[in-house]
Amino acid sequence: MKSYYDRPLLKGPHWGSNVVTYLFLGGIMGGLGLISLLSDDRPEPAMKKLRKTTRYTAFALAAINPPILISHLGRPERFLNMLRIVKFKSPMSLGVWGLVLYSGAAGANALRELADDGVVPKILRHLAPNATVPIQALLGAFMAGYTGVLISATAIPLWAAGKRHIPAFSVCSGAASASALATLLSTLQGNHEVLPRLERLEMAASALEIAAIADFRKRGGLATAPLFEGRIGKRLRNYTILGGIVVPFALNAIGGAVKLPKSIDALRSIAASTLTLIGGYVLRESLIEAGKLSANDPQVAFRQPS
């Protein structure tokens, strides 16, 4: 096989843990948009509590994620340059606008709850029309998915080979992580009634996620080796596939089938959701780190995935 002294053909990403964190939290923000919609306008007090929790959490994440995004820039003081234009061909551009709009919708929905709780004057509730709930859910789906499109619409062979799979499992992982975070917070609040539903949502999202990851491995070809083999592959298998999907799925299934004592059930929920969250983070981390390895292999870069 010909090459130029086996030198890398491509340049790898300069992205580190701040970008990984951004992708992870972006996925959770997306999933919280869905849970906020699903728990909207329900009479049960437990659902009301869940609704409030998801909206406050989504708003908190919308506040901390932009600084994390900004911190990865070579010139952070020029972050606003991204808001000079809207560029449909650039997922990075659309993503920044998605983040801005999502933050607006999440802010409006948090404001509704604050007004209902009497923390801010009731009149401010008029700033947040009912439509902001489905809008946050729609923008949330975009937030969870665009990061997958963003990395697969690059020249990095591993990412390019996942043009269908990576966006799909990014959305699923975001929804699973959001369900896990909502489960964790609801358990800590003692809001046990919503747990069965949240855990079933998490199981559905995790099942789709693992199916998409398995299909990616099967069909992705040689380019997927950096993600599934070696040190990164081992970490992905232990923390995401087993620890982050299979074990929490089993724990949630046990919780759904067997009536456990309250304290043990709470521990089970906490363990399952924490493991899911760790798995979600490691999935994003593995994708970015394996992307760096992928860029170093000229042989897979000579003929780039269509």
Partner 1 sequence: MATGFFTDATLCIGCKACEVACKQWNELPSDGYEFTGNSYDNTSQLSGTTWRHVDFIERESVDESGVTASWSMLSDVCKHCTNAGCLEACPTGAIVRNEFGSVFVQPDVCNGCGYCVVSCPFGVIDLIEAVGHGDDAAKYGLATLHDDRLNERKTAVQATGGVAGKCTLCFDRQRVGMVPACAKACPTESIQFGEIEELRERAKARVETLQQRGVEAQLYGADDVGGGIGPLNAFFLLTDSPEAYNLPVEPVLPSTRQAMGYAAAAAAALTLATIGWAIFRGDA
Exposure string over 115-150, b if 16+ CB within 10 A, otherwise e: beeeebeeeebeebeeebbebbbbbbbbbbbbbbbb
- By CB under 8 A, the residues from 148 to 207 that bind partner 1 are 148-156, 159-160, 163-172, 175, 197, 200-201, 204-205
Q: Closer CB to partner 1, residue 111 or residue 252? A: 252
- 257 near partner 1, rule: CB under 8 A: no
**Size of interface with partner 1, in residues (CB under 8 A):** 82
Q: Closer CB to partner 1, residue 104 or residue 305? A: 305
Q: What are phi and psi of 107, to 5 degrees?
A: -65, -45
- CB of 113 vs partner 1, minimal distance in Å: 18
- 130 near partner 1, rule: CB under 8 A: no
Q: Closer CB to partner 1, residue 22 or residue 239? A: 22
- CB of 163 vs partner 1, minimal distance in Å: 4
Q: Closer CB to partner 1, residue 15 or residue 66? A: 15
End-to-end CA distance of the chain: 21
Calpha distance 250→13 (Å, rounded)? 36
Structure tokens at 240: 């995401």
- 263 near partner 1, rule: CB under 8 A: no
- 48 near partner 1, rule: CB under 8 A: no
Q: Closer CB to partner 1, residue 124 or residue 207? A: 207
Q: Closer CB to partner 1, residue 171 or residue 293? A: 171
| Sign of the C-alpha dihedral computed for residues 226, 151, 274 and 172 taken in this order | negative
For residues 34 and 178, the answer to whether their CB atoms sit within 8 Å is yes
- By CB under 8 A, the residues from 90 to 109 that bind partner 1 are 90-93, 95-96
By rule CB under 8 A, what string of x and - marks binding of each residue 218-247 to partner 1?
------------------------------
- 20 near partner 1, rule: CB under 8 A: no
Tokens 């992708």 label which residue? 23
Tokens 């086996």 label which residue? 6
For residues 65 and 29, the answer to whether their CB atoms sit within 8 Å is yes
- 301 near partner 1, rule: CB under 8 A: yes
- 9 near partner 1, rule: CB under 8 A: yes
The only residue of 23, 29, 34, 106 in contact with partner 1, by rule CB under 8 A: 34
Structure tokens at 25: 């939290």
Residue among 212, 278, 274 at smallest CA distance from 240: 278
Q: Classify burial at 86, counting beta carbons within 10 Å of its beta carbon; exposed 0-12, middle 13-18, buried 19 or more.
A: exposed
The only residue of 144, 195, 275, 282 in contact with partner 1, by rule CB under 8 A: 144
Q: Closer CB to partner 1, residue 110 or residue 168? A: 168
CB atoms within 10 A of CB 264: 10
Q: Closer CB to partner 1, residue 75 or residue 122? A: 75
